[in-house]
Amino acid sequence: MKIFIDGKYYSEQNAKISVFDHGLLYGDGVFEGIRAYHGRVFKLKEHIERLSHSAKAILLDLPMKRDAICKAVLDTCRKNDLRDGYIRLVVTRGVGTLGLNPNRCKRPSVIIIAGKIQLYPEEMYRKGMAIVTVATTRNLVNAVNPAIKSLNYLNNILAKIEANIAGVEEAIMLNQEGFVSECTGDNIFIVRGNQLLTPPLSSGALYGITRGVVMELGAKRGLEVAEVNMTRYDVYNADECFLTGTGAEVVPVVIVDGRKIGAAKPGRWTRRLIADYHALTKVSGEPI
């Protein structure tokens, strides 16, 4: 595997960053997870735009222009002969001192890893998954805003630990008001009648790229797509439930906190949206 670090390529064994990098010391930086399908990088420009927005929110000046980052992502895929896989794009604050002050970091670092990912077992896409609600609250928007895809993922990790303890792969996180926000690494949707519903971004949900794609696909299918505040009661009584994310794609949920969702199997709209998503990934994206 060849890994891009600040304009050069290194083997997996020789790809290193300084122990004084503030991305390591303080989680000071931003990242994107991107997918490649059939020799194309899916929604690359949208991912780079979101990276830029995250960087702007933390006053991190990207050391490369957007077009140059796009090119570096594609070049890294070529270097690794990657046609189908997962790309992790990371921008750290860079090398600094042991103090918090980001102004002590002279130059941000850009890291690109192109490899493989398998978030959930294949069986869960066919039969659906069980999830639980956890006690860990989603970050407040006036603390570490969840819209920022930062390197500090402890909020999500603490929730993931609770999911692990409960023996499930994913968990619903509520916001400070008790409304459903998102899962530890995915956005959440429910289907109710002819409605496709997902929590609003103001709930603490990430500005999900896959979330946006699925909302568009749902509208094309004739579903009434809306962003609404929802409680666990709404999820429990939904006809269908599924999660979306770059790594997860679209994965059905059939049990939440021990309650069966609908018929306790992937619903017809979920199955259609999965098929629509896969069809789109076959024809859309930046050619590698």
Tokens (6 digits) for 253: 């949920």
CB proximity list for 117: less than 8 A, separation 6 or greater:
33, 85, 86, 247
- 43 as an active site residue: the answer is no
Our CA angle for 142, 216, 274, nearest 5°, is 105
Beta strands 109-115; 2-5: pairing state: antiparallel
* Residue count of the chain: 288
| Phi, psi of 247, deg, nearest 5 | -75, -40
Q: Residue 50's closest CA among 34, 73, 71, 27?
A: 34
- Longest CA–CA span in the chain (Å) reads 57
Residue from 2, 43, 149, 160 carrying the catalytic annotation: 149
Angle between helices 268-283 and 209-220 (to 10 degrees): 110
Query: How buried is residue 234: exposed, middle or buried, by Cβ count under 10 Å (0-12/13-18/19+)?
Result: middle
Q: Residue 115's closest CA among 15, 2, 208, 16?
A: 2
Element (H, E) at 198: strand 195-198
CB proximity list for 27: less than 8 A, separation 6 or greater:
150, 151, 152, 153, 154
* Amino acid identity, position 37: Y
Residues taking part in catalysis: 149
